[in-house]
């Protein structure tokens, strides 16, 4: 082989090696850029949302579900004014550091038991203006740091006795503008540090079942707590009155089931009588009112009526006795006066001979 051909061969080999090296470098760069793009996409901002540092605003976007791809460093999430109908379990698993969550003015009617699972740092939860009818007992159990819970402007007719572990950090609790008639005192006692309580604009039924709430509110206000008050919607006697202004002495203890009802329940646990042992929140509202009417004893006259009747009868008896004593006194005085006027003489003749003898005595007397 000639020297010229040898040089040409070496040059072509060098050119090929350089080309392969360039292709390798380009491939690696493309791979790296793809990885960077995927990573940016995973940590980026979801479509229709606006991300600002640690806050994400997805409000007023017509969303039907919680958006995917939320940045994990998010502390504040705005989802208000959308069309979200339900929250599945682990709905916010991608934002475990969340502190404030606003879900107001959506169409929420169903909250899965584990909907808020993983939000152990959440402090503010806004669920106002939705379509919630009831709450599962342990729905808020994971929210150990919760400070403010707003459930106002929903359709809830009752709240459970407990919503999980005691909320040591809760300071604001709002349930105004719902359909509540009763509120169990045990639920409020699980919030030892609550300071603001909003209960207005409900269908509060101020009967014996609300006495526990009244006593708790009196103690709550005495300790410096603030509330907008419980305005009675029924019965007509207290309609429009503030629960705190009604003397608790006017509330009689709630009637207990008759003794003969207990054996029937034990023998027929599936019968209608067994419904009396169910807690109030598990019964329909109509059934609770019907049961109250059945178990409520016949209304007895108030003690004041007994006292008034006693006074009237006693006064009448005393008046009659006094009148008789007055007549006897007048008679006695009259008799004494007549006797004093004619001493030693009988007041009335007894027979004919006596009368004749009297005349003879008068005739024989000296003139």
pLDDT tens, position by position, 189-208 = 999 999 999 999 999 999 98
pLDDT score at 225 = 95
Mean predicted confidence (pLDDT) in 141-164: 90
Tell me which DSSP letter residue 350 carries: -
Residue 277's region, left for phi above 0, alpha for psi from -120 to 50, else beta, is alpha
Q: What pTM was estimated for this model as a whole?
A: 0.61
> Residue 240 above 80 pLDDT?
yes
CA–CA distances in Å: residue 254 to residues 59, 269, 278: 47, 23, 16
CA distance 91 to 79: 13
Q: Cβ contacts of residue 153 below 8 Å, gap of 6+?
A: 128, 129, 130, 176, 177, 178
Residue 223 tokens read as 């300790």
CA distance 296 to 234: 17
**pLDDT band with cut points at 50, 70 and 90 for residue 163:** confident
pLDDT score at 259 = 59
- Tell me whether the omega of the peptide bond preceding residue 35 falls within 30 degrees of 0, making it cis: no
Residue 92 tokens read as 């916010």
148 vs 249, more confident: 148
232 vs 33, more confident: 232
Of 178, 146, 179, nearest to 163 by C-alpha is 146
156 vs 262, more confident: 156
3-class secondary-structure state, position 155: coil
Q: Cβ contacts of residue 215 below 8 Å, gap of 6+?
A: 185, 248
10 vs 39, more confident: 10
pLDDT tens, position by position, 83-113 = 999 999 999 999 999 999 999 999 999 899 8
């Amino acid at each position: 082989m000639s020297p010229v051909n040898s040089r040409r061969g070496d040059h072509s080999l060098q050119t090929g090696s350089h080309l392969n090296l360039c292709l390798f470098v380009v491939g690696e760069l493309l791979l790296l850029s793809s990885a960077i793009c995927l990573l940016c996409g995973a940590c980026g901002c979801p479509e229709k949302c606006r991300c600002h540092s640690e806050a994400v605003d997805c409000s007023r976007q017509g969303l039907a579900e919680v958006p995917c791809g939320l940045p994990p460093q998010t502390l504040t999430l705005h989802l208000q004014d959308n069309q979200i109908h339900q929250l599945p379990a682990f709905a916010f698993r991608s934002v475990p550091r969340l502190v404030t969550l606003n879900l107001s003015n959506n169409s929420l009617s169903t909250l899965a038991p584990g909907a808020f699972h993983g939000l152990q740092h959440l402090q503010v939860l806004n669920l106002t203006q939705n379509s919630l009818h009831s709450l599962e007992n342990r729905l808020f159990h994971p929210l150990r740091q919760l400070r403010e819970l707003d459930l106002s402007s929903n359709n809830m007719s009752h709240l459970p006795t407990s919503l999980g572990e005691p909320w040591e950090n809760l300071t604001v609790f709002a349930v105004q503008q719902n359909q509540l008639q009763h509120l169990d005192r045990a639920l409020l006692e699980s919030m030892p540090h609550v300071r603001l309580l909003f209960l207005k604009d409900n269908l509060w039924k101020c009967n014996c079942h609300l006495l526990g709430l009244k006593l708790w509110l009196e103690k709550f206000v005495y300790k410096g707590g603030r509330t907008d008050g419980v305005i009675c919607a029924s019965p007509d006697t207290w309609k429009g009155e503030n629960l705190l202004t009604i003397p608790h002495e006017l509330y009689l203890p709630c009637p207990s089931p008759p003794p003969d009802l207990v054996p029937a329940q034990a023998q027929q646990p599936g019968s209608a009588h067994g419904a009396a042992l169910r807690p109030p929140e598990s019964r329909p509202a109509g059934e609770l009112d019907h049961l109250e009417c059945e178990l409520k004893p016949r209304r007895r006259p108030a003690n004041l009526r007994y006292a008034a009747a006693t006074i009237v009868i006693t006064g009448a008896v005393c008046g009659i006795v006094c009148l008789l004593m007055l007549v006897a006194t007048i008679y006695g005085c009259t008799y004494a006066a007549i006797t004093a006027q004619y001493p030693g003489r009988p007041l009335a003749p007894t027979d004919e001979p006596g009368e004749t003898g009297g005349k003879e005595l008068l005739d024989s007397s000296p003139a």
